[in-house]
Structure 1
């Protein structure tokens, strides 16, 4: 992946400036040189990160700078595609020679370059600032009337790290507690870094409390940073860790099962894996037998098709996509990589799927534009099997 990026970024620098009119040879070399230098900065930081020679407290900041440069070049690629299409249309349409010149004009491309840097920087700011609470009603098929109105707070993809420090985690905890949920769930990717690197920054999570518990399911990033140690640490904090396990909750005389399964990343192990377990749907289905409703915590929304096919779940809550990060990028890149699920609610056979935009994101790609992070509070509402 790093090799592919290292080939693409310099090509984008050439694509941006080589066709631009009204530039002298010296100006063209200078513009290409500056853009190429920015690309090489990103690649240099990616190389430093992949060398794995720094403590994670340093590595996390290296990832953040790489993500900032990567965001710039993703936006640049979108601009170049639009510029090329606009130039082609204006080139072959009648009486549009002025527009043909404009698309490759110096001022247009200089202004676009400045805007791209500003947008990428704004995206990083949006990604790092604490999320807001977003409350919504969610109609759940076959939900018993006694469970109508149950409030579920979703904290997906916190990605707590040495960059996103204790104060941010505390702000999130305060916001969740102010929302007064009945249940709190954390469907994966709570942390980045080993326990020794990041434990101090997750401590506020120990203050999370709800009448029917706080429940955690693993995500792929826990698998990269010492899975067993993190699961033990979360248990020590008083969080209910569900590793292909089920909690049976008694609410208003009904039994609500909340199950957490392992992440799909375990099915394609890599050199970055540091433990983890594969999802086991049959195990949690058996454990929830006889319950009146069943919520599945599965980090990746791609689990939804298999879960829905069992007919055993009313609702799946997932994260992983970060809502797609940026408008356009969400629908054209992130959604196709996740069976079309990117954020919000979906109907999958007789099961409802909710995909959270996440309360954080990985430092290596933190940018958010038009897709804010969120603390989701789901107010479960009764719905018939055929409702949509």
Structure 2
């Protein structure tokens, strides 16, 4: 039912957009026709995507077009809501006839429709272009002074696919290595699609290296793309895969525990989970990390933070999943509520610090970014007791 509602949303919105508009004119009626055509295109694209009848490459492009149409109608919804919220009080006034006519007039809509399509296209372009590096200090009261200055590069939500291509992953890898990180972490959603059709697009990850390793935790999209095959492939690339596992690293005479847990997608979407998968097991990694001086947890979805903080045994959780909220406004009003209020940046959760990356990419099916750029995050860990 939810999928049907999503697919019908553009068509219903197209009707809402145009029904109050008077005196459209023959020469400009194609604006309305274009809107309804896009509304009809959305269910077709959704059907093609769900069938996955054309292989990973074609399916990725179908998803991208599906996402572009969805973003266009999401922006159109904002326009329609603002239009009618302004129009309703004016309806009660006898002196605002011209403004009422303008709000429901063809001229405004002839400007709004191209602007919406332009913003959707710009957002999609922003989502496809390579991310920039953003370095930030994170002050941690529990960080031993010996670990002060540790540089942790975060590559969340790569979502490698045939649309983004191998060149984009190569660019990201080169930019990460240029920051000279001490530790590299990938907290999930590295891929979209099967290994056979997408391995070339993640091949450059094999060149990631850092003094204290490159560590991966799974995200929900690995569960949708043959989990077991991808975890095996990541190991073949030389990445350290942490499936409810902890590795202890000796740094400066101290022990840093890095843990990775499974994703809650294991519970929620049994029809989409392919090729295995594991449930998140925070108590298990807490037990494995016992005796360490600092515990860093990789958990793809930030909503696991409250459970992790409740153990009192995790100092820093690094997550992704939200893509920073994609679009200003949507980030706080829609994405944050679905993720326990976490959308991007650092948060204090009990005695634990949570960092949520805006991600280096996002799923092709909703690829747009407006005001929320993708990001290669380099966290410089700082101790309050620094030397």
| Counterpart contact for 1:151–1:377, Cα < 8 Å | yes
CA spacing shift, 1:93–1:152, aligned 2, 3 Å: farther
- Deviation per CA, 1:276-299: give whole Å up to 9, x if none: 100111110111001000010000
Contact 1:133 1:175 (8 Å CA) reproduced: yes
Instruction: Find out whether 1:335 has 2:336 as its counterpart.
Output: yes
Q: Which runs of 5+ in 2 are unaligned?
A: none
Note the 1:59-74 alignment, pairs <5 A: 59-74=59-74
> TM-score, normalized by length of structure 2?
0.96
Q: Which residue of 2 aligns with 1:363?
A: 364
Kindly state the Cα deviation for residue 97 of structure 1 after the two structures are TM-superposed.
Answer: 3.0
Corresponding residue number in structure 1 for 2:233: 233
User: What is the TM-score of this pair, normalised by structure 1?
Assistant: 0.96
Residue pair 1:180, 1:210 contacting (<8 A) in 2 also: yes
1:133-152 Cα distance to aligned partner (Å, 9 max, x none): 00001112311111111110
What per-residue deviation string (whole Å, max 9, x for no partner) do you get for residues 324-360 of structure 1?
1101111111111100101111110110000000000
Aligned to 1:43: 43
Partner of 1:248, secondary structure, is strand
Task: Give the corresponding residue for 1:259.
Answer: 259
CA shift, 1:42, in A, is: 2.1
What secondary structure, in the 3-state scheme, does the structure 2 residue paired with 1:256 have? strand
Instruction: Give the match's secondary structure for 2:34.
Output: helix
Residue matched to 1:104: 104
Q: Deviations over 1:223-264 (max 9, x none)?
A: 011111111111111100000000111111111101000001
Structure 1 unaligned segments of length 5 or more: list them: none
**Partners of 1:60 and 1:161 within 8 A in 2:** yes
1:270, CA displacement in angstroms? Answer: 2.3
Find the residue that maps to 1:153 and give its secondary structure: strand
Q: What is the RMSD computed on CA atoms of the aligned residues?
A: 1.4
Separation in 1, partners of 2:29, 2:54: 35
Correspondence 1:1-388 to 2 at 5 A: 1-24=2-25, 30-92=30-92, 95-274=95-274, 275-383=276-384
Aligned mates of 1:297, 1:237 — CA distance in 2: 19
Shift in Å at residue 28 of structure 1? 8.2
| Residues 307 and 17 (structure 1), Cα distance of their counterparts in 2 relative to 1, 3 Å cut | same
1:121 shift after superposition: 0.3
Whether the 8 Å contact between 1:152 and 1:182 is mirrored in structure 2 is yes
Cα separation, 1, equivalents of 2:86 and 2:137: 42
How far, CA to CA, are the matches of 1:145 and 1:101 in structure 2?
67
8 Å contact from structure 2 (residues 152, 184) kept in 1: yes
**SS at 2:328's partner residue?**
coil
Question: Deviation at 1:92?
Answer: 3.5
In structure 1, distance between residues paired with 2:29 and 2:110: 14
Per mean C-alpha deviation after superposition, the further-off stretch among 255-264 and 140-149 is 140-149
When structure 1 is superposed on structure 2, of 310-319 and 139-148 the one drifting more is 139-148
What CA distance in whole angstroms lies between the structure 1 residues aligned with 2:150 and 2:163? 34
Greater shift, 86-95 or 272-281, is seen at: 86-95
Contact 1:126 1:368 in 2 (8 A): yes
Secondary structure of the equivalent of 2:300?
A: coil
Kept in 2: contact 1:223–1:276 (CA 8 A)? yes
Contact 1:324 1:343 in 2 (8 A): yes
Q: 8 Å contact 1:150–1:380 — kept in the other structure?
A: yes
The DSSP-based 3-state class of the residue aligned with 2:377 is strand
- Determine helix, strand or coil for the equivalent of 1:42: helix
Contact map agreement 1:139 1:380 (CA 8 A) in 2: yes
